[in-house]
Amino acid sequence: MTTTAAEPIALSRRELNKVATREAIATAALELLRTNGMNGFTADDIAVAAGVSRRTFFNYFSSPEAAVASFTQKYLDKVIEQLLLRPQDEPLLESTQHALTAVAPTDLATLAETFALTQGDAQLSRFQLEAWDNCSSKIIAAIGRRLALPEGEAAGGSDANGELYLHALVQSVIACGRAAVEVWFRRHGADISAASLAQLRELLISAIGHLRTGFHS
């Protein structure tokens, strides 16, 4: 069901170390955020906790905030991964709803937690925003690639007007995702229980549902 589709590429020892280091740094950052709160740790602290030098920390992340945001990035990347597994002729909104349900609850939990933990700090929030926006760009790029290949860019009115359509659609999808998380947080605060997360998933599906049926307030 989870359909991880992990490619069995053999990693060299070096690459393996890099991945491990990156993960150690990221988890150290999250752990410090959990315990010390929003402004309670420095890049030094993260480096020490991860067992690397301060300089090495900056070789992996451009800032402490970026390390935290990597978790949001990772979750959204998994959703994209699932999204691209859906049939190409399926409407995007439907595909998105399926993709959202296909991602494991564990990943959703870290998304929810990091969102909750970053609320209240301006810079952390900005990096969260950036993560969502990167997600937009990636989806637009992927779908744009799909559309460009098969029919030479001039099919179904996809050329000039379609560019705006695509951007508006995808960005709206992301917007609804963020809206769902926001509403969830307003209701449940930092509650990461399974029941609460189920509500969050429900809200995510509903938000996309609103986009499917249209807004006519």
Chain residues that interact with its own copies, rule: CB under 8 A: 62, 91-93, 122, 125-127, 129-130, 133, 161, 163-165, 167-172, 174-176, 178-180, 182-183, 186, 203, 206-207, 210-217
Q: Which of residues 45-104 bind DNA (CB under 7 A)?
A: 52-56, 58-60, 62-66
| Alpha-carbon torsion, ordered 120, 126, 129, 134, to 10 deg | -150
Partner touching 53 among its own copies, DNA, none, CB below 5 to 8 Å by kind: DNA
Partner touching 167 among its own copies, DNA, none, CB below 5 to 8 Å by kind: its own copies
Amino acid at 115: F
Say whether residue 21 binds DNA (CB under 7 A): yes
Closest to DNA by CB, 56 vs 106, is 56
Interacting residue with DNA among 9, 13, 161, 186 (CB under 7 A): 13
Partner touching 175 among DNA, its own copies, none, CB below 5 to 8 Å by kind: its own copies
Of 13-21, 136-144, 171-179, 199-207, the segment contacting DNA by CB under 7 A is 13-21
Distance of alpha carbon 171 from its chain centroid, rounded? 13
In whole angstroms, how far apart are CA 193 and each of 135, 151, 197, 199?
26, 47, 6, 10
Say whether residue 18 binds DNA (CB under 7 A): yes
Of 42-50, 89-97, 163-171, 202-210, the segment contacting DNA by CB under 7 A is 42-50
- Extract the tokens encoding 183: 């509403």
In whole angstroms, how far apart are CA 216 and each of 9, 63, 67, 154, 179?
49, 42, 40, 32, 18
Cα(180)–Cα(200) distance, rounded to whole angstroms? Answer: 7
Cα(142)–Cα(194) distance, rounded to whole angstroms? Answer: 32
